[in-house]
């Protein structure tokens, strides 16, 4: 069973994370202080650490530094940092210290679960990428960056394909704006969330029969967007 260590001092957030992760089948251990969390991460055998920055003794950056500086196998455990501080310098600092992902509070538990699954996939060596999606009359070649609708080619900018690839990695799952920003734009070129909305409008105009009433790229109010297709609609690169 996948073991996750949660280091978070806020009791309500800690309980919410523990219950949500456990409901997904993970084995969860929770700690409320940074020094204790660092010790548990280093001495225990965890598959992932979910780490808050603002802790009552040492901060999450120092916890991450201690984990990455140990000589044991724990130095390679994936770390997701949680922080109410969304400034770019804090994000960069966390990533430079070796964090695998950085989630800004407030966040939805659904978003966190998606990021946990993504980080665990990468850590497990699953780097298989989607290469195409077929649904309705739409055929999308994500490698060649070609879209056809009822056999007719549709021209889309490269950014649109980056967004479509994010959805293709998670068919049928809700994807938050922050996840789209991180994966389609990256940390070096980070626009505002309104930019995401504008791109989704353009994609709907290209792919939907009724853009104002989308069938495929649907909005999940308060959470994000979803490519409403089954996983079988996605073609994946063959391993090796």
Q: 76-107, pLDDT tens digit by residue?
A: 999 999 988 766 778 788 888 999 988 888 88
Q: Which residues, at least 6 apart from 139, have a Cβ–Cβ distance to it below 8 Å? A: 132, 133, 147, 148, 149
The DSSP output letter for 159 is H
- Express each pLDDT in 103-144 by its tens digit: 888 888 888 888 898 889 888 766 678 999 999 999 999 999
Total Cβ atoms within 10 A of residue 214: 19
| CA dist list (Å): 63 to 4, 81, 127 | 15, 10, 28
Regarding whether 114 and 225 lie in a shared domain, the answer is no
Count how many domains the chain has.
2
Regarding whether 97 and 139 lie in a shared domain, the answer is no
Q: Is the pLDDT of residue 240 over 60?
A: no
Regarding whether 80 and 117 lie in a shared domain, the answer is yes
Regarding whether 164 and 82 lie in a shared domain, the answer is no
Task: Identify the domain boundary among 96, 123, 150.
Answer: 123
Its domain, for residue 213, covers 130-236
Regarding whether 221 and 168 lie in a shared domain, the answer is yes
Report percent pLDDT > 70 for the chain: 93
Regarding whether 211 and 168 lie in a shared domain, the answer is yes
- Express each pLDDT in 26-73 by its tens digit: 999 999 999 999 999 999 899 999 999 999 999 999 999 999 999 888
pTM: 0.66
């Amino acid at each position: 069973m996948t073991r996750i260590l949660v280091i978070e001092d806020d009791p309500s957030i800690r309980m919410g994370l523990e219950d949500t992760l456990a409901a997904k089948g993970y084995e969860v251990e929770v700690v409320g202080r940074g020094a204790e969390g660092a010790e548990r991460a280093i001495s225990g055998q965890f598959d992932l650490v979910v780490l808050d920055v603002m802790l009552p003794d040492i901060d999450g950056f120092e916890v991450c530094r201690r984990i990455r500086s140990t000589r044991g196998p724990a130095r390679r455990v994936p770390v997701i940092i949680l922080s109410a501080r969304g400034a770019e310098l804090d994000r960069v600092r966390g990533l430079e210290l070796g964090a695998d992902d950085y989630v800004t509070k407030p966040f939805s538990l659904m978003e966190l679960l998606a990021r946990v699954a993504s980080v665990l996939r990468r850590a497990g060596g699953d780097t298989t990428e989607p290469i195409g999606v077929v649904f309705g009359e739409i055929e999308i070649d994500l490698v060649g960056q070609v879209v056809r609708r009822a056999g007719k080619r549709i021209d889309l900018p490269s950014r649109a394909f980056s967004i479509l690839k994010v959805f293709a990695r998670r068919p049928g799952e809700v994807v938050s704006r922050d996840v789209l920003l991180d994966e389609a734009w990256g940390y070096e070129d980070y626009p505002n969330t309104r930019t995401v909305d504008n791109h989704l409008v353009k994609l709907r105009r290209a792919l939907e029969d009724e853009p104002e009433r989308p069938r495929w790229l649907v909005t999940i109010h308060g959470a994000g967007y979803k490519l409403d297709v089954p996983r079988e609609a996605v073609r994946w690169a063959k391993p090796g």
